[in-house]
A and B are shown apart, each in its own frame.
Chain A
Amino acid sequence: MAKLTYREAVRAAMREAMAADPRVFLMGEDVGRHGGAFAVSMGLLEEFGPERIRDTPLMESTFVGAGIGAAVGGMRPIVEVMTINFSLLALDQIVNTAAALRHMSGGQFSVPLVVRMASGGGRGLAAQHSHSLEGWFAHVPGIKVATPATVADAKGLLLAALADPDPVLVFEHATLYPLEGEDADDTPMALGRAAVRRAGEDVTLVAYGASVHKALAAAAALAAEEISAEVLDLRTLRPLDVEAIVSSVARTHRAVVVDEMWRTGSFAGEVAATIMEQAFDELDAPVARVASAEVPMPYAKPLEDAALPSAEQIAAAARALF
C-alpha cells in the first residue's frame, strides 16, 4: 500500500468523491486560491474549478447554514471550517438546523452534509485556535462525529461521511496533518466501529484522534514494565462503539480513557460512565481519565505541554490501576 500523509489522505478522499459524484463540492475560507489553511485542498481549485471549490467570505454561520440548505437541495457539500474554535460561530446552524431538521420535519428531510475542521492543541496557537470540543458536538443527537487518528482513517472515514445521508462532522487533529502512513484499501469504512490499534491484556487505553498516538507511546512504555496495554481507537464518538469498549474492558478489566477535552464534561466522562454502566462487574480498578488541564490553552511551550495529555501521564494513570 502506498504511503501518504494524513493531509494527502483527506485531499485524496475529497478528490475521489468529487470525481465520482458531481453533487460533491467544497466550500470554506481559503479552500481555493490558498489551498486551505492547512494546505489540505491544495490543487483542488485547479482540478475542479471555482464552481466546486468555493472560497467563501468569513461567515462561518452562513456558509455552514448554506451547506445545510445545499444538502437538502440535492448537493453533497463538504464545508471546511478553518479551526474548531471558529465552528462555535456556526454552532447555531449545526445544532439548531443540521441536527434537528430531519426530526422536526417528521422525517421529511435528511441533511447529507459533511463539515470538516482542524482541532486540538500542541502547535503554540494559544487560547483561540487549539481546543478540543468534539464531545460538545457528540452530545447532539442528529449529527455524527468522526475523529480519524490514522492516515487510512483520514481518507476512509471522510468517504464514509460523504456516503452518509446525515450530517457528519469530521475533526482532523491539526498535529496529524504531516503524519505519514499507509493508504486506506478500497473497502468502504463504516461510522461507529472502533479499532484495536494495539492488542493487550492488562489494561485498555481508550483514545481518539491524536491521543491515540500518545496512548500507543504509553503502551510501548508500559510493555517494558510488563504491563500489556490494549489501545482502542474510538474513531467515531457518535455513533459510539459501546460494544468494542465493553468487550475490551471485559478482557483487560482496567481502563484509562484519554481525551484532549478539558476534564470537566469531557467525552472521556461519557466513556467512563458507559464502562461503569455496562462493564462494572468486569472492573478490577476504577476507570481513570487523562484529559486536558482546566485552563484556556496557554501559548508558552512548557505550559502548553503541561496542559495537554501526555504519554507519560497516560502510562502513569495506567500504572496506578495495579
Chain B
Amino acid sequence: MSLERPPPHRAALEREHAHELLRQMLLIRRFEERTEELYAAGKIRGFLHLYIGEEAIAVGAMQSLAEEDAIVATYREHGHALARGVPAGAVMAEMYGKANGCSRGRGGSMHMFDGSRRFYGGHAIVAGGIPFAVGLALADKMQGRRHVTACFFGEGAMAEGEFHESMNLAALWRLPVLFLCENNLYAISTPLAAQESEPELHLKAHAYRVPSEAVDGMDVYAVETAVARAAAAVRRGDGPYFLELRTYRFRGHSMGDPQRYRAKEEIAEWEKRGPIVQFVDRLRRDGLLDDATLAAIERDVADEVAWSVEEAEGGPWEPVEDLEKDVYTPADG
C-alpha cells in the first residue's frame, strides 16, 4: 500500500508530529482495550462500541480541523472525543456513569458531549446526527462565521433517508458541512454488498453535486491530508464536501457480538495493515521512531489510561435526587 508523504509545511516538525499522531492512536487503542476489561468487570454497562482499527480516521481528521470547528459523531465516538482533546478521565468517567463524566453520567458510552470543544456528540440513532450537523452549519453560515462542521457517520447511515436529505440540503444551501463517512464494511452484520446498490460510496455524492474522494482510512497521513484539503474547501464557502474513509473494525459491532458474519482470517488480514502497526512500520523505516521512543509513548499512554480509570473510580455519582435535572433549562439559564 502506498502511503502519502506528510504535508510539506509540516516537514520541519515531522518527527514530533508523527509521534503525536502515534500517541493519540495508541491512546485510543489502549484506552479502549482497558474499557473491554472494565466492561467484563461490570464497571461499564449498556452498549460499548469499540473504535479499535479505525483510530487513524479520528486522529487524522482532528489534526486538520480547527478549535472553532464543530464535530458531530456517532455512538462509536470514544476515539473522536479523545482525539478532539476531551480529557480521557472525563470520557472514562462518563462510561462509568459518574458525575465527572463529560455528560455528567447522563449519556454514557454512546452520548459523549463537550460544548467547550464544540464536540456535539454522541448520536446513537444511525444518521440522526447528520441533520443536526447541517443545522449547526446553517447557524454558522447565517451568523457569518467561517467554521466547518465535521460530521462523522458509518457507511450504514448512507442507506438512511436522512443522509440523502442532508446532502441535498447542504448542497442546495451551500452549507459548510464536511461529511466524513467511516466505511468499515459492515452495518452490524450486514456487509457493504448487501447494504448498497452502489458500493463505491463516494460516487453517491455526485448525485448532489458534492465533491468527494475515497481515502485510505488506515493511513493517518492520508486522512489528515484529505481532511485538510476538504476542510479548506468547505471553509472557503464552496459548500459541503464528502470523504469516504475506508477502514475496518477489528472488534464486534459492540461487546458480545459473536461475529458469525465474517471469517477470523478476514479480520487477521486487516489487522496486518492496521493503522497503528502500519504507521509504526513506516516511521521505523523512515528513521523517525526507535524502540525507546515507542516504549516511552506506550508508557505515557498507559499512565493516561490509568489516570482515566482513577478519575472514573474516584468520581462521584450524580445524586438520585437530581434525577429530573437537565430535562428543561432552569429559569436562571
Chain A residues within CB distance 8 Å of chain B: 25, 51, 54, 56-57, 59, 61-75, 77, 92-93, 96-97, 101-110, 141-142, 144, 165-166
Contacts and interface: CB of A to CB of B under 8 A. Distances in A.
B162 interface: yes
B267 to A, nearest CB: 32
B294 interface: no
A62 to B, nearest CB: 4
Contacts of A102: 326-329
Given A75-B139, A166-B328, A65 B107 contact: no
Contacts of B326: 102-103, 106-107
A97 B120 contact: no
Contact of A166 (B130, B131, B138, B329): B329
B104 A61 contact: no
Contacts of B8: none
Contact of B113 (A54, A73, A108): A108
Given A59-B169, A108-B103, A109-B113, A65 B138 contact: no
Given A75-B142, A103-B326, A57 B168 contact: yes
B142 A105 contact: no
B35 interface: no
Interface in B113-158: 113-115, 120-123, 125, 128, 130-140, 142-143
A237 to B, nearest CB: 15
A59 B139 contact: no
B125 A92 contact: yes
B135 A56 contact: no
Given A25-B142, A93-B132, A106-B113, 13 more contacts: A57-B165, A63-B169, A65-B134, A69-B133, A69-B137, A73-B136, A102-B328, A104-B106, A105-B111, A106-B106, A108-B103, A108-B114, A109-B113
B172 interface: yes
Interface in B307-333: 324-329, 333
Nearest to A239: B328
B104 to A, nearest CB: 3
Contact of B136 (A64, A72, A110): A72
B102 interface: yes
Given A70-B142, A72-B135, A75-B138, A106 B101 contact: yes
Given A105-B121, A105-B122, A109-B113, A92 B128 contact: yes
B113 A69 contact: no
B104 A68 contact: no
Given A97-B123, A108-B115, A165-B329, A51 B102 contact: no
B166 interface: yes
Nearest to A77: B135
Contacts of B328: 102, 142, 144, 165-166
Contacts of B134: 62, 65-66, 69
A73 B165 contact: no
Closest 9 CB pairs of A and B: A69-B135, A65-B131, A73-B139, A106-B104, A62-B165, A107-B326, A66-B135, A105-B113, A59-B165
B105 interface: yes
Contacts of B143: 73-75
A148 B113 CA distance: 35
Contacts of A69: 131-139
A106 B169 contact: no
Contacts of A103: 106, 326-327
B135 A70 contact: yes
B132 A97 contact: yes
Contacts of A107: 104, 106, 325-326
Nearest to B168: A57
B256 interface: no
Contacts, number: 146
A100 to B, nearest CB: 8
B257 to A, nearest CB: 23
A97 B107 CA distance: 12
Given A65-B128, A166-B329, A73 B135 contact: yes
B138 A61 contact: no
B287 interface: no
A93 B128 contact: yes
7 contacts: A61-B162, A73-B143, A97-B123, A102-B328, A103-B326, A106-B106, A166-B328
Given A62-B165, A105-B113, A108-B113, A70 B327 contact: no
A51 B142 CA distance: 8
B161 interface: yes
Nearest to B107: A104
A109 B120 CA distance: 9
Given A108-B103, A142-B327, A61 B122 contact: no
Contacts of B107: 104-106
Among B122, B172, B327, the one with the most A-chain Cβ atoms within 10 Å of its Cβ is B327
Contact of A61 (B103, B105, B133, B165): B165
Among B101, B128, B138, B162, the one with the most A-chain Cβ atoms within 10 Å of its Cβ is B138
Contacts of A62: 130-131, 134, 162, 165-166, 169
Contact of A70 (B101, B115, B125, B139): B139
Given A70-B142, A107-B325, A110-B329, A61 B131 contact: yes
Given A25-B142, A57-B172, A65-B128, A71 B113 contact: no
B106 A105 contact: yes
Given A65-B128, A73-B135, A75-B142, A109 B165 contact: no
A92 B129 CA distance: 11
Given A106-B101, A165-B329, A74 B166 contact: no
Nearest to A99: B327
A65 B329 contact: no
A142 to B, nearest CB: 5
A105 B115 contact: yes
Contacts of B137: 69, 73
